[in-house]
Structure 1
Amino acid sequence: MSRPLTIVYMGTPDFAVPPMAALHERGYRILAVVTQPDRPKGRGRKLTPPPVKQAALKFGCSVLQPETVRTEEFHRKMADLAPDLYVVAAFGQILPQSLLDIPKQGAINIHASLLPRHRGAAPIHRAIIEGDAETGITTMMMDKGMDTGDILLMDRTPIGPTETAAELHDRLSRMGAETILRTFEMLRSGTLPRMPQDHSRATYAPMLRKKDGQVDWSQPAETIDRLIRGVTPWPGAFTFSDGMRLKIFRASVLHRDISVPPGTILECIPGELRVATGKDALAIKEIQGESGKRLPIDDFLCGCRLPDGSCLG
């Protein structure tokens, strides 16, 4: 029997935990786990390890947390480990070619889109925001470009009509575990396909900023609904009422003719605050005020009045 493949696993957030756990449980030898440094988190700004570090320590893996991978010390460490492969999932740093050249069989990335669509840092959010009918997981060979390497395997899944970025993130994370295991099995058997990307079809999914969550009521209700779902939980969809910031968590589209300016509150019925948009109306169902918590709209309106005819924006 040939020896097990040796891996250096690179990842940071929750998304990267299930694929690492799957490889560990399947018996692949993880020589080291590379992740971002601990960062201050929460109101107390307590130094908190990233999810991948927490999981790796439970597995008994050696953990490396370089501020940057572009140092001679880190290069020497990777060269000394001499892995067969890197496996990279949402690591958060770009690997230079000099690092990619170290593993004997290259570096495999787990990317949460159907490449070449949605290259970049926020493919899950952008797939929802842009109204994609489906998304998925792509494993690919890494090169010096941003998600430009040859495609290995691709698994597809439809995006649910009410699915949020948080819900889709969790599904794709589990899919990533399944896809990387199939990728390794086919690599070991010599049956793994490899296909160059069609760069002319590439689209990009840049990292979201806080301001990207602001609702533009002149947009169609369907566009606004996709935005709300695509930025939940972060950065969150928001609007303003008389200077008060309101965060919208859940809504639905109402197909109806509109004759008032976008952002106008049309009416409130049990369970819904209906707002005019550039096309159709949006029924807000869950919302949060500046100093409150996420609430059903009826509960929110018990303490904060938003009268019919007033305007959000």
Structure 2
Amino acid sequence: MRIVFMGTPDFAVPSLEALLNSGDEVVGVVCQPDRPKGRGHQVVAPPVKLVAERAGIPVLQPLKIRTPEFLQALSSWQPDVIAVAAYGRILHTPILQLPPMGCVNVHGSLLPKYRGAAPVQWAVINGETETGITTMLMDEGMDTGAMVLQAKLAILPDDTAGTLAPRLAALGGRLLIETLVQLKAGTLVPTKQDDQQATMAPLLKKEDGLIDWTLSAKTLTNRVRGLSPWPGAYTFLGHERWNIWKAVLQGTATTDTPGTIVAVNKQSIVVATGDGLLEIREIQTANSKRMAVAQFLAGHRVTVGQQLGPPPITLVG
């Protein structure tokens, strides 16, 4: 088959690499444009583009995909099928109808749960113990197409979104190949999704990382895991921002005001929540690296009774 691959971030790389190692021909790759990244705002190419260029595959990076020019360029590759993994945009009908064998998507959840842009993160945030990969035949909806294959994967107790995503991505590459094998053989049996069972996994924003201490310690533990590495969970001690990279549930009840530091020891800073106590184990402040609390306390004074929460409002004028 002649395959066009559409994908952008690290999550999509194993799917592209699996296609490049298959017996089919990847005739072109489409990914998001190069974008500024990091403190220096240096323009960086997407991971998928780097893989495609090393393999000598032509790459398109359209700012807009709903244009005659992009559709014409895509048509010139004459794809039999378009394979998609974390491309970042919804495909409209002219693209979906272009390849005679359709468009196949690799999605990082067990659909119809966690439709949307951040399925890995929200599965961890919500305390799921299992997730997986679904391949589907795409339609114009947000991950609403008929499901083809599914494979499950355990979410480990210490998993973050950052540690879970590579395992899911590798599974996605394997499932994509099996899907295309069955597509060529004509043995696929698509299954319509049950929309009533659907849940959403919307794109995360920086402000989603701000810790609400009125939530339970269990909920906050999962949020810290699910928000790592981006946007990261954070709180403030006065005007000083604390990024919280590791937190552990302590099953002790508390009557202290949520956000109050109730204990400080060599390994952790213990904070009251809306239900139970949370032990902060790994932390980062401005212009510093991630560090264990023991290292952090060597250079910072933290006392019982201090209050964590949103930054104080500064009045002007």
**Normalising TM by the smaller chain, what interval?**
over 0.9
The answer for the alignment partner of 2:21 in structure 1 is: 25
- Listed one character per residue, the Cα deviations across residues 255-274 of structure 1 (whole Å, up to 9, x for unaligned) are 01212111111112221111
**Which AA in structure 1 matches 2:237?**
S
Question: Aligned equivalents of 2:66 and 2:127: distance in 1?
Answer: 37
- Length, aligned pairs only: 309
Pairwise CA distance, 1:44: 2.3
From 227, 232, 237, give the equivalent of 2:228: 232
Pairwise CA distance, 1:99: 1.0
The answer for the alignment partner of 1:274 in structure 2 is: 270
Pairwise CA distance, 1:77: 1.6
* Residue ranges of structure 2 left out of the alignment (5+ in a row): 310-317
**Which AA in structure 2 matches 1:34?**
V
From 80, 83, 108, give the equivalent of 1:84: 80
Pairwise CA distance, 1:172: 0.6
Pairwise CA distance, 1:79: 1.9
**Which AA in structure 1 matches 2:38?**
G
The answer for the alignment partner of 1:184 in structure 2 is: 180
Question: Aligned equivalents of 1:43 and 1:215: distance in 2?
Answer: 23
**Which AA in structure 2 matches 1:127?**
A
**Which AA in structure 2 matches 1:190?**
G
From 132, 135, 139, give the equivalent of 2:128: 132
Pairwise CA distance, 1:81: 1.8
1:298 paired with 2:294, answer: yes
SS at match of 2:175: helix
Within a 5 Å distance, the mapping from 1:1-313 to structure 2 comes to: 5-313=1-309
Q: Would you say the 8 A contact 1:116–1:148 is kept in 2?
A: yes
* Residue ranges of structure 1 left out of the alignment (5+ in a row): none
Pairwise CA distance, 1:189: 2.5
Question: Aligned equivalents of 2:180 and 2:231: distance in 1?
Answer: 35
**Which AA in structure 1 matches 2:147?**
I
SS at match of 1:303: coil
RMSD: 1.0
Q: What's the % identity of the aligned pairs? A: 45
- Listed one character per residue, the Cα deviations across residues 162-201 of structure 1 (whole Å, up to 9, x for unaligned) are 1100011111111111111111122223222210000111
**Which AA in structure 2 matches 1:302?**
A
SS at match of 1:88: strand
Question: Aligned equivalents of 1:46 and 1:261: distance in 2?
Answer: 43
Pairwise CA distance, 1:92: 1.2
**Which AA in structure 1 matches 2:167?**
R
Deviates more, 1:68-77 or 1:142-151: 68-77
TM-score if structure 2 supplies the norm length? 0.95
Question: Aligned equivalents of 2:128 and 2:278: distance in 1?
Answer: 20
SS at match of 1:267: strand
Q: Would you say the 8 A contact 1:68–1:93 is kept in 2?
A: no
SS at match of 2:298: helix
**Which AA in structure 1 matches 2:99?**
P
Pairwise CA distance, 1:38: 1.0
**Which AA in structure 2 matches 1:107?**
C
Question: Aligned equivalents of 1:47 and 1:213: distance in 2?
Answer: 25
Pairwise CA distance, 1:97: 0.4
Question: Aligned equivalents of 1:44 and 1:312: distance in 2?
Answer: 30
The answer for the alignment partner of 2:312 in structure 1 is: none
SS at match of 1:110: strand
Q: Would you say the 8 A contact 1:82–1:104 is kept in 2?
A: no
Pairwise CA distance, 1:291: 2.1
SS at match of 1:155: strand
Pairwise CA distance, 1:301: 1.2
Pairwise CA distance, 1:68: 1.0
